[in-house]
Copies of this chain bind each other. A is one copy, B any other.
């Protein structure tokens, strides 16, 4: 290691590389690539959202702005939550952030530092654990198990992982990558246990609208919690409104934390561009139909990949109840990293190796089905053909 790198703070030097990039690099030159590795759809942001941002630029909205977000957008977030969850929300609990990722970073900064622990079910999107460890705290994974009935979370295992050092439990439901969705009963038990232990919940309900069971949304802590429960909700405009590239999300927290969160925004990115916020405002005010279409598209995609991959007896999968990923394994193959590398080189289908989502994801592949149905059909056909002689 060079003198330079040796002189860096350990937590910075040891932050992990993305486990997907290696596969993306291996597929870069493939002539007929179908990239299903990333957590994003294939549609660009709808025109009415871009138009709102462009109008804002034309109006000269290019100056510093509110650290917590422009009042119109905070109000629109309150309205969106009201119509989604059927109760009222104060605009004061919403804070606009420069991505859902930044909402996670700020949530972590609020509660965990050196010597602290954050417990989370695994497999999980790796960025949470990395954000925790960059702060000098420890991210403690608790393995979920895959059964014939799907992925299950053993609540006793989660609760026994809580120690006096634990400051928060992170829960991502619907789950990226497994598609698991916590039941209302599970959420209630988690809420009660965290209340009893006095620890925070960081609730990642980013995929809350992509729910394939009853109702227009997955069960949510919003259905159960009080305004002042110690829950930090992290969310993003990325998935619902095809805005991954905009880097805009929100944090929802008890309003009494307002000044603390404002300060943490001030000292990290100092707010989000007004013109981006105008785009997000258009998404909330005019984007219900687009969101419905996104959800319908994901449902179609889910059906296509599940029916298609069912033709390959070696493929083992659980039904994803939410989010927009299929997380599957191939009988007899335990090294998902090499599997993903071989697959993209030989078939041009790009999947994310499960190892990128923690040890509990070893042996799995993640496929994003929020994409064009023809591409999904082609991808599935290639995978089935390739797996057959395995």
Residues of A within 8 A of B (CB): 2, 4-5, 7-9, 11-13, 15-18, 38, 40, 44-45, 50, 53-54, 57-58, 60-65, 98-99, 101-102, 105, 109-114, 116, 127, 130-131, 134-136, 167, 198, 200, 228, 230, 242-247, 254, 256-257, 259-260, 262-264, 266-276
* Residues on B with beta carbons closer than 8 Å to the beta carbon of A109: 9, 11-12, 134
Inter-chain contact B260/A8, CB cutoff 8 Å: yes
Which residue on B lies nearest to A276, using beta carbons? B273
The 8 Å CB contact of A200, one of B7, B245, B275, is B7
Inter-chain contact B63/A44, CB cutoff 8 Å: yes
Looking at the assembled complex, report how far the CB atom of A55 sits from the nearest CB atom of chain B, in whole angstroms. Answer: 10
Q: List 14 A-B contacts (CB under 8 A).
A: A7-B111, A9-B109, A9-B112, A11-B109, A13-B260, A17-B259, A44-B63, A99-B270, A101-B268, A102-B268, A105-B268, A127-B266, A246-B273, A247-B270
The 8 Å CB contact of A267, one of B4, B101, B136, B246, is B101
- A307 vs B116: C-alpha distance when bound (angstroms): 56
- A164 vs B242: C-alpha distance when bound (angstroms): 49
* Residues on B with beta carbons closer than 8 Å to the beta carbon of A62: 44-45, 50, 242-246
- A99 vs B54: C-alpha distance when bound (angstroms): 20
Scoring A7, A110, A268 by chain B CB atoms within 10 A of each residue's CB, the highest score goes to: A268
* Residues on B with beta carbons closer than 8 Å to the beta carbon of A98: 98, 247, 269
The 8 Å CB contact of A64, one of B57, B58, B245, is B245
* Residues on B with beta carbons closer than 8 Å to the beta carbon of A61: 245
- A64 vs B37: C-alpha distance when bound (angstroms): 12
Q: How many copies does the complex hold?
A: 2
The 8 Å CB contact of A269, one of B102, B112, B244, B273, is B102
- A105 vs B9: C-alpha distance when bound (angstroms): 13
Which 10 A-B pairs give the minimum distances between C-beta atoms? Answer: A44-B60, A45-B62, A15-B263, A114-B114, A50-B57, A62-B245, A130-B267, A101-B270, A63-B245, A54-B54
Known contacts A57-B50, A98-B247, A269-B98; decide if A7 and B114 are in contact (CB<8 Å): no
- A13 vs B18: C-alpha distance when bound (angstroms): 31
Inter-chain contact B134/A228, CB cutoff 8 Å: no
- A112 vs B110: C-alpha distance when bound (angstroms): 18
* Residues on B with beta carbons closer than 8 Å to the beta carbon of A50: 57-58, 62
Which residue on B lies nearest to A263, using beta carbons? B15
- A9 vs B131: C-alpha distance when bound (angstroms): 15
